[in-house]
Structure 1
Amino acid sequence: MILVSAVVVVMAASLVFYFFMDRESETVTYKNPVGGMTNIGDPFILESNDTYYMYATSEASYGFRVWQSDNLVDWEEKGIAYDHYKQENRWATGDFWAPEVISYKGKYYMTYSARNDAGSLQISVAVSDDPLGPFEDESTEIIEQSGSYIDGHIFIEDDGTPYLYYVKDCSENIQDGKHVSQIFVQPMDEGLTKVLGTPTLLLQPDQDWEGLQGDYQWNEGPFVVKNDGKYYLMYSANYYASEDYSVGYAVSDKPTGPFVKASENPILSKDLDKGVSGPGHNSVTTGLDGETLYAVYHIHTHPEVPSGDRQMSIDKMEFIDGKLKVHGPSREEREMTVE
C-alpha cells in the first residue's frame, strides 16, 4: 500500500523543506545548520502551545532576540525579547549571554547573565506574559555576588521543586593556580527570585578531553534531562571559540548529585570533514511528534576561523541502555516526523 498522498515543496531562504503527507504522519526534511541565523550562540528552544521559540546570545551589548517556528526548521525572527535599555532599573553594562526561558505558573521566566558595574558576571531572572516578550527584570542578583556567574538553567522536579544549575565562571574562579569554570546547583524559592541553602559543586574539568593542561578550563552550559528516574546533566567543555568546544554528560540518582561523568564523553564534538567546528552549549527540546528528543546546539559559522559567530544545529537525541546518545553533529539530510 502506498500511503503518501501528496508532496509539497516549500522554499525558504536558501533551504528547501519537503513535507510528505500521508494518512498517519507528516515528515519534515532538513539539513544543519537550521534557521539561517548567524552571529548567535547558546541556542535555547522553548515549546509552548504547539509553537517553538528560540532565544540565543544575539545582542550581547543590551539583550536578546527571539525567533519563532512551527516545525523546528523554518524560523522567523520576531524582534527583541529582552531589551535592557527598556528596564526600569538598568544594572548591566553588557555581555548579555545564554538566555533560557521556561513556562512556570502561567508566566515565562528568562534566566540570563550579564556584566555588572563592578565588572563581574551575574545571573538575573526576567518575566513576561508572552514568550515573545517583552521580558522585565524580576530579580537581578539570584546568587549573592562573590565572583562571576553565568549559564543559569532552571530545572523543575516532578514534585514542583525548582533548581538552579549555574556556572562559577573561570574569569574570577581560580583553583590551584588555574582559572576553572565549575557547575553548581541550588534549590530556588517558588517565585524563582533567589536560590536557597548552600551551593553544591557538581562538575569541574577532570576528563582528558576537557583541556586539563590549559591555564583556563571550562565545564559550562548545564542542561538537565530526567529519564527513567535518573538525571542527565549535559554540559560543554573547552573554549567556546575553539574547534574543540564539545558536549559531555554526567548521571545521578538525584538532582543535587553526586553526578558521574560518562566514560564515552564527549558525545558531541567537531567533525571538520563535515565542516563542523565547536558544537556546544546545548539545550534539549521535544520534536513535532511530541516524543522524540532533539539536542539543540551551536556550531561555528566559519569552521576554519572559530569565533563567536555561530549558527544553530539540531540533531536527534535518545537514551540507549542508560546512555545518552546524540546522533550528530550532522550536515546530511535528516527527517522529523509529525504525528
Structure 2
Amino acid sequence: MSNPVLPGFTADPHLVVYGDTYWLYPTTDGFDDWSGTRFRAYSSTDLTRWTDHGVILDLATDITWADAYAWAPAAVERDGRYYLYFCAERAIGVAVADSPAGPFRDALGAPLIAADAYPDQMIDPMVFVDDDGRPYLYWGQGASYQVPLHDDMVSFDPARVRVHTPEGYNEASFVIKRDGVYYLMWSENDTRSADYRVAYATSGHPLGPWGARRDVVLAKDEAQGILGTGHHSVVRAPGSDDDWFIAYHRFAIPGGDGTHRETAVDRLHFTGDGAIARVTPTR
C-alpha cells in the first residue's frame, strides 16, 4: 500500500467495508472555494489496487435543490440498499441506490437537513449503525449534532437531536465502537491549515455524554512533508477481530493546500487500555 491511494485531488474520504471489499467515497477536490459538483466511488479488496466506478451522483443532473459545493459523502448499507449522505450548498442530502457503485438518486427531493436548520454549518454527515441495528446520524461544523435515525434512513425526530462541542472540535464527526466503548472522533482547526488534525473522546452510549477530549489521533509530520491531516474515517478489516485502518486527506505532495488535497490510508492501533495510539502518517 502506498499513499496517496487515489489519483488526482480528493478529500474527506469515507472508507467503508461491504462484504470483503473496501469502498471509498471522497470529495472531488482541486476547485476554488471547494466548488465541486460530482461524487465518485472507488473499490478495492486490498487497499492497493482501486477500481474507479465513475460518477455516482452529479448535482447538476441528479439534485434539484443544489448546484454546487458537493462535499463530504458518507455511505452505509441497510437491508440491501445503499445510502449516500452528502453536503451540497451547505445543507445535507441523502441519496439511495441498489449498488454501492450507484447510480444514486435523491431520496427526498429536498435536503434532509437544511442549511439554516441549526446554528453553525450543516455539513459533514456520518452514519453509525450499532450492534443492535439502530442507526445514528452525526453532522456539523462548529458543533457536533447527533440523533437517532428512523429505520427508513431518511428521517429523524428533531426533538431527539443532541449537540456536543468537544474541546477543539471543528468538524467531521466520526463514530466507531470497540469492546463496548464508543469513540467519537473529529477534526480540529481549519482544513486550510497545516495543523488540521484528528482527536477523540469516548462514551458508553452512541449519543454521549462524551468524556473529555482524550488525545490527538492523527497530526502532521513535517519531516515527511505531510500536512493538513484530517477529515477521516475508520474501518475494521473484513474478517478481522482488531485490524483497523484510517482514511484521511492531507495537503497533496508536493505543493498542495486546503483545496488541493489527496487521500491516504494508514493503520490505526489501540493500546492495551483501549486508547487510540497516535497514527503514523506515511508516504
Same fold (TM over 0.5): yes
Which residue of the other structure, out of 43, 56, 69, is the alignment partner of 1:95? 69
Residue of structure 2 equivalent to 1:50: 20
Residue of structure 2 equivalent to 1:173: none
In structure 2, give the amino acid aligned to 1:230: V
Which residue of the other structure, out of 43, 53, 60, is the alignment partner of 1:78? 53
In structure 1, give the amino acid aligned to 2:276: L
Which residue of the other structure, out of 134, 142, 150, is the alignment partner of 2:103? 134
CA change 1:303–1:271 in 2 (3 A) is: farther
Superimposed CA distance per residue, residues 187-222 of structure 1 (whole angstroms, 9 cap, x where no aligned partner): 111101112233211224x3xxx4xxxxxxx52111
Matches of 2:125 and 2:27, distance apart in 1: 13
* Aligned-residue offset at 1:303: 6.0
Superimposed CA distance per residue, residues 63-84 of structure 1 (whole angstroms, 9 cap, x where no aligned partner): 2011121211221322101122
SS in 1 for 2:72: strand
CA change 1:298–1:305 in 2 (3 A) is: closer
- Answering whether residue 77 of structure 2 is matched by residue 107 of structure 1, we say no
* Aligned-residue offset at 1:46: 2.1
Superposition pairs for residues 245-324 of structure 1, below 5 Å? 245-263=196-214, 265-287=215-237, 290-291=240-241, 292-302=243-253, 305-320=256-271, 321-324=273-276
Residue of structure 1 equivalent to 2:2: 31
- Answering whether residue 156 of structure 2 is matched by residue 195 of structure 1, we say yes
* Aligned-residue offset at 1:279: 0.7
Count of equivalent residues:
271
Contact 1:294 1:315 in 2 (8 A): yes
Matches of 1:74 and 1:261, distance apart in 2: 39
Which residue of the other structure, out of 271, 280, 283, is the alignment partner of 1:328? 280
CA change 1:227–1:272 in 2 (3 A) is: same
Contact 1:142 1:195 in 2 (8 A): no
Q: Which runs of 5+ in 1 are unaligned?
A: 1-29, 116-120, 170-180, 211-217, 332-339
Matches of 1:318 and 1:184, distance apart in 2: 27
SS in 2 for 1:90: coil
Contact 1:280 1:299 in 2 (8 A): yes
Matches of 2:117 and 2:233, distance apart in 1: 27
In structure 1, give the amino acid aligned to 2:144: I
In structure 2, give the amino acid aligned to 1:247: V
Matches of 1:318 and 1:33, distance apart in 2: 20
TM-score calculated relative to the size of structure 1: 0.75
In structure 2, give the amino acid aligned to 1:272: E
Superposition pairs for residues 135-284 of structure 1, below 5 Å? 135-139=104-108, 140-143=110-113, 145-147=116-118, 148-167=121-140, 169=141, 181-196=142-157, 197-204=159-166, 206=167, 210=168, 219-263=170-214, 265-284=215-234
Give structure 1 regions of 4+ aligned residues with deviation exceeding 6 angstroms.
none
Superimposed CA distance per residue, residues 120-173 of structure 1 (whole angstroms, 9 cap, x where no aligned partner): x11111000011110001133223543530111111122222111111x3xxxx
Matches of 2:25 and 2:4, distance apart in 1: 16
Superposition pairs for residues 10-29 of structure 1, below 5 Å? none
* Aligned-residue offset at 1:241: 1.4
SS in 2 for 1:273: helix
Matches of 1:58 and 1:294, distance apart in 2: 21
Matches of 1:305 and 1:160, distance apart in 2: 40
Matches of 1:79 and 1:102, distance apart in 2: 19
Matches of 2:165 and 2:181, distance apart in 1: 17
Q: Say which is worse superposed, 245-254 or 191-200, in terms of deviation.
A: 191-200
Greater per-residue strand proportion: 1
CA change 1:327–1:103 in 2 (3 A) is: same
In structure 2, give the amino acid aligned to 1:159: D
Contact 2:227 2:251 in 1 (8 A): yes
